[in-house]
Amino acid sequence: MKKVIVNWLDSNTLHGWQYGEYLAELAQCETIGFMVEEDDERLVIAQTVSNYGAHMGITIIAKGCIKSIRELRIK
């Protein structure tokens, strides 16, 4: 299973009263994990995998939000 680092953009939520200028930018995210599944619309990353095939800590990232994917090579 590939180990990857993914740089991607996510929505950002502001709450409460806003005065004057406020940060209205997307959140820049970085996720490191095991690539479980990939198709034309999404990438599925797991934080942990077991020898039984179970996954824990799943993150699903829309392909349109991904800036880069790099495979990690661990020695």
Domain count, the chain: 1
What Rg do the C-alpha atoms of the chain give, in angstroms?
16
| Domain limits for position 45 | 3-13+24-71
Calculate what percentage of the chain has a pLDDT beyond 70: 100
Average pLDDT in the chain: 92
- 40 within a domain of the structure (yes/no): yes
DSSP β-bridge partners for residue 30: 7
pTM of the model: 0.84
The confidence score (pLDDT) of residue 15 equals 80
- The burial of 6, by beta-carbon neighbours within 10 Å (0-12 exposed, 13-18 middle, 19 or more buried), is given as buried
- 44 within a domain of the structure (yes/no): yes
The confidence score (pLDDT) of residue 19 equals 79
pLDDT tens-digit series, residues 17-45: 877 777 778 999 999 999 999 999 999 99
40 and 64 Cβ atoms separated by less than 8 Å: no
- 18 within a domain of the structure (yes/no): no
57 and 46 Cβ atoms separated by less than 8 Å: yes
